Amino acid sequence: MLDLTGKKALVTGIANNRSIAWGIAQQLHTAGAEIGITYLPDDKGRAEEKVRKLTEPLTPSLFLPCNVQDDAQVTELFDTLQEKWGSFDILIHCLAFANRDDLTGHFSDTSRAGFDLALSVSAYSLVRLAQGAKALMSEGGNIVTLTYLGGVRVVPNYNVMGVAKAALEMNVRYLAAELGPQNIRVNGISAGPIRTLASSAIGGILDMIHHVEEVAPLRRTVTQTEVGNTAAFLCSDLASGITGQILYVDSGYAIMGM
Ligand code: 0WE
């Protein structure tokens, strides 16, 4: 049985009702987990308000700001987690960012600053959050991150994000090897393209979605709920033997060669 009753789950990366992280939070909640939410704070508090309203039905027991580029915020996050939760069980990492200019045009024109930014937000952040989490996952735990095919194969315009996802997927393996003895499992979900705030900001996402609908074995794209169910599975005892893996939730797209 997929049962997460009594488990505490911290979910990062919810921006709005289309976020894959929101799909994951809902399915973890449905499976019985207690939810904590982090949001990316902005100057006007709009993001906080929006994410708070959206996630209210899950009655989160924690709601905390976390910009992974700000060391003080990450330290504060784990201090608060220790104080309020003591220990926790599940960390969901759904964070990525690259400059928009770096997601179009020539990959060879990527600047050092653009490269550093993409790798820092999208890959290093998993290492930093795992660092904080391992100290609080005293009874073992689960870490799940989101990745994309563009991290293992060339997808036009994904560019520096592909390099960041390659680093992220290797982070999954190194973290899984190191944290396994503490019974902390670390896995990634490689989701097919979905219309979200992040992907909609990219020109041509609809064409990519139509391409998937034509050639993927299931002849359709995947939903946030399907990714959420896979995350819930990975965090459950049903997946107790799985760690260090990247699981493709992509309607089968990645198996095709032609
Ligand atoms: O990982 C992603 C998107 C991540 C992303 C999106 C943005 C848009 C707005 C990272 N940084 C930014 N920065 C912005 O300013 N995906 C898997 C979705 C995605 O993004 C693509 C894709 C797909 C699919 C970019 C190019 C080509 C395909």
Instruction: Tell me if 193 sits within 8 A of 199, measured CB to CB.
Output: yes
Alpha helices, DSSP H, located in the chain: 20-30, 46-55, 71-84, 112-119, 125-136, 159-179, 197-200, 205-215, 224-235
Mean per-residue pLDDT, 216-225: 98
pLDDT in tens, 224-255: 999 999 999 999 999 999 999 999 999 999 99
Q: How far is the CA of 201 from the centre of ligand 1 (A)?
A: 7
Q: How far is the CA of 148 from the centre of ligand 1 (A)?
A: 10
Q: Which mutation among 158, 190, 250 tests ligand 1's pocket best, with the greatest number of atoms within 8 A of CB? A: 158
Mean per-residue pLDDT, 23-32: 98
Buried-state track 60-76, b at ≥16 Cβ within 10 A, e below 16: bebebbbbbeeeebbee
Does the structure show a pLDDT above 90 at 102?
Answer: yes
Confidence bin at 202 (pLDDT 50/70/90): confident
pLDDT in tens, 119-177: 999 999 999 999 999 999 999 999 999 999 999 999 999 999 999 999 999 999 999 99
Domain-wise residue ranges, the chain: 8-252
* Catalytic residue list contains 148: yes
Q: Which mutation among 18, 148, 159, 161 tests ligand 1's pocket best, with the greatest number of atoms within 8 A of CB? A: 161
Which of 39, 124, 158, 248 is catalytic? The answer is 158
* Catalytic residue list contains 174: no
pLDDT in tens, 178-199: 999 999 999 999 999 999 998 8
- Residue range 8-252 forms a domain whose CATH class is alpha beta
pLDDT given at position 183: 98
Tell me which residues have their CB closer than 6 angstroms to ligand 1: 96-98, 100, 103, 148, 155, 157-158, 161, 193, 198-199, 201-202, 208
Which of 39, 124, 148, 174 is catalytic? The answer is 148
Q: How far is the CA of 103 from the centre of ligand 1 (A)?
A: 7
Mean per-residue pLDDT, 6-16: 98
pTM metric for this prediction? 0.98
Does the structure show a pLDDT above 90 at 203?
Answer: no
